[in-house]
Structure 1
């Protein structure tokens, strides 16, 4: 058993920003189920959006974010995040963060989909995540302890219902406990519960499932962003082909040489992601192959070294200027409901980064807003925790964890089957029949929400948590009878602003049952 001031679960950009801000004030443990750099943040090819250009403004970035998110967000939340993000990015620039610059020394600002002006900062071309994660890691001191290759399998609560620590499991099955008055989920999204995904394989929604099982409210789980351009390898994907490639002028064409975005959207290749993904999907469903024509991009290999290496690894020649692409799961807009500091509906539990639903992204995330969100909420939560230090002696008395134990679940399905079913039935295009089919399959697994996971292996626990997340996504998608942003239903193809505008679907674990409610029917209390 080990105790500390703050436990952070996950090691992406939000987690590292939080640890960087806390390290001179509180003792911090970062726990990750793999290695520190096994995160979506480290894989991020795209950049960080911020209104720092001469002609750019906070209001303009806010408008673009609201438009991409189909106005499902709170405009005040969006404006405040972008305001704080601008300040943080300006600080990082002055601090020497490794952002790319032009020959004259000015920052090189790129263009991406749904942005009305070039405002994307990159590092190392298409290696922004790697560079920024390394930069943040280098800034950490010995006051931040890393616990690697331990999977958090339960959020511990005391007799008052406060989150007071975590239970972990190592690959050998051994169980360990860590206690703290503040537990922060920074575990990323759930992209890898789909068979085609840009996400790191380990990003399967653990934090979302753990928060749900611990009693936290989740929201907007039906809104899944499918990135339009993953490298297509037939029935599988080789990885992400950044939107920045289209920002540099690459065109989307089919095997007949036709530009597929003409007549679809005024921004063509740089339309919002759900529009581009839906169009590529429809072309592929008609039996056509879709390519990124990169011939308009000058010095492609220099600007996009990681994409070049990925293509070479998978024997995709760049000599003819065409990269075959397919949509795949990329980002989870929904997640654990938080306020503007990262506090959840469970006292002592916080969520930052993609695992959280902060009100920033709405129905569809604006490109390159995710790393910005991680930096902003990492700083905000640090400020809250530093100013809300708790008395260690009083907290020690709260270590008596009470939990009614369920039975050990029997995992009888292959997680690969769940991923394929998610892609087929809860993928880019959904309808009542496909969603009902998948929901019935999930229910047929007969898994409880109060399961005792101690006797399972790490892989089995991950599969169980994937099942929990799949249930949340599927039930939410079935209930929202409209198409909005990343949630597209063929049986309800239009936005329904009469019944669904600004209405959220909340998911709550009530008496070990998944309860689905509308936000106006259930008061959400965020704990101070």
Structure 2
């Protein structure tokens, strides 16, 4: 090919930005589909064992327990041991973490036995981190930031050698690459109730599947137990850190929702709490009561306070109605510790990838940590990657057309009913059949079908994958 080929990164969340920063001074083309991404919506911070009463071992133990010991233990150790250094790097990138007189202000979230969540701007953590990193990326003279959609991968032989794109004016383009990184986030928007941005539909997973990349653990979808219950497509998240500060989950009668169900009570792992909230809605609803907290909590959690006011709720006087909602995909494109997929030249990182860190259920606030640690590791590896793509003619492997809006709405309802917090065989079987029929009409249906098919194959309950008889 002519000249040196860049590294192409598809996705501009924290994982993709970390790749681009660590790859410098290699030339990078960063493809941003535009709009919100899950990194920016993250209210929880980043988990790191930096407190005086904490240790990496304790963080590892909590991660393995939350993941139902389905995790890759070596990956867990590698990522969590790198957490303190990742906090230092983020600070060097300009992230101003919350502090008190003793140093970093550490919060606690579900599944954690210690306070180890580092926040930036309280519940604005994801946005603050993303803003700092994207500003650094834009300062680099080596990153070409493009607003476009990746619609196909270019293959020479069996190796990925570029991307075919379309921008928002309909203009098509091809970019040859020495390596392509999928950093497109998860697939929560394939469910009728979700905390994710509208674009979190598994688009990168669809590209990888079309190219023949192996997938892993697709059945494991985490449902956050406390999204604000409302009628909109994307449900605002009520951060778990609010429960860490003392808010309580109640049923419709005002009784403690988690009483006697788990030793950690309201801060039990998310899969446990989400199922309890889901069942509470069968009997009248679930509520998060913050009325007993000191008034200053709204200054610490400004996003939650704003969300409640927009919904006509005064959280200082009344409980917040909450519901479970699709939040994070533990599965994804199967990758090794570096981020390599089974297809030469194709890499994946962040929520789009599955490296075994999260197991069957993600421990709260380990995802931003994964994006930073694994993104930086992959970027450093690609910095020394061969600068030329494979020679010869290429062929396009397209993701294919998407579903129309009506079909996508139907798919989302089907996925919530059949593959939500509690799953029943006959519901999944009928939904799998419907999705198979829809697969020819849109790539979202192929991704959704792969998730349901994986859930059907795993006949026992494990972590966030919960099978019920009825």
Common topology (TM > 0.5) = yes
- Aligned counterparts of 2:228 and 2:399: Cα–Cα separation in 1: 43
1:470 correspondence with 2:448: yes
- Aligned counterparts of 2:223 and 2:347: Cα–Cα separation in 1: 26
Segments of structure 2 that go 5 or more residues without pairing to the other structure are none
Equivalenced residue count is: 466
Q: 2:465 aligns with which of 487, 496, 503?
A: 487
SS of match in other structure, 2:19: helix
Equivalent positions of 1:30-429 (< 5 A) are 30-35=30-35, 38-93=36-91, 96-102=94-100, 104=101, 106-140=103-137, 141-148=140-147, 150-158=148-156, 160-233=157-230, 238-286=235-283, 288-298=284-294, 299-390=296-387, 392=388, 395=389, 397-398=391-392, 400-403=393-396, 414-429=407-422
- Aligned counterparts of 2:405 and 2:320: Cα–Cα separation in 1: 39
SS of match in other structure, 1:366: coil
Deviation at 1:408, TM superposition (A): 7.3
* Per-residue CA distance 1:317-356 (angstroms, 9 max, x = gap): 3242311100000000000010111111011100000000
* Per-residue CA distance 1:218-274 (angstroms, 9 max, x = gap): 010000000000001268664100101111110001221100100111100000001
Contact 2:210 2:398 in 1 (8 A): no
Deviation at 1:309, TM superposition (A): 1.1
Q: Which stretch of structure 1 is more off in the superposition, 413-422 or 179-188?
A: 413-422
- Aligned counterparts of 1:20 and 1:295: Cα–Cα separation in 2: 43
- Aligned counterparts of 1:421 and 1:396: Cα–Cα separation in 2: 42
1:438 correspondence with 2:434: no
Scaled by the length of structure 1, what TM-score is found?
Answer: 0.84
- Aligned counterparts of 1:353 and 1:144: Cα–Cα separation in 2: 19
Q: Closer, same or farther in 2 for the Cα pair 1:417/1:246, shift >3 Å?
A: same
Contact 1:205 1:465 in 2 (8 A): no
* Per-residue CA distance 1:458-485 (angstroms, 9 max, x = gap): xxxxx82211210110100011001111
- Aligned counterparts of 1:305 and 1:290: Cα–Cα separation in 2: 22
- Aligned counterparts of 1:252 and 1:106: Cα–Cα separation in 2: 30
Contact 1:17 1:375 in 2 (8 A): yes
Contact 1:425 1:434 in 2 (8 A): yes
Q: Closer, same or farther in 2 for the Cα pair 1:169/1:105, shift >3 Å?
A: same
Q: Closer, same or farther in 2 for the Cα pair 1:10/1:407, shift >3 Å?
A: closer
Q: Closer, same or farther in 2 for the Cα pair 1:413/1:319, shift >3 Å?
A: closer
1:500 is aligned to: none
Deviation at 1:431, TM superposition (A): 1.4
1:22 correspondence with 2:23: yes
Segments of structure 1 that go 5 or more residues without pairing to the other structure are 448-462, 493-528
Deviation at 1:42, TM superposition (A): 0.8
Scaled by the length of structure 2, what TM-score is found?
Answer: 0.94
- Aligned counterparts of 1:385 and 1:347: Cα–Cα separation in 2: 13
- Aligned counterparts of 1:302 and 1:380: Cα–Cα separation in 2: 36
Q: Which has the higher contact order (CA 8 A, sep 6+)?
A: 2
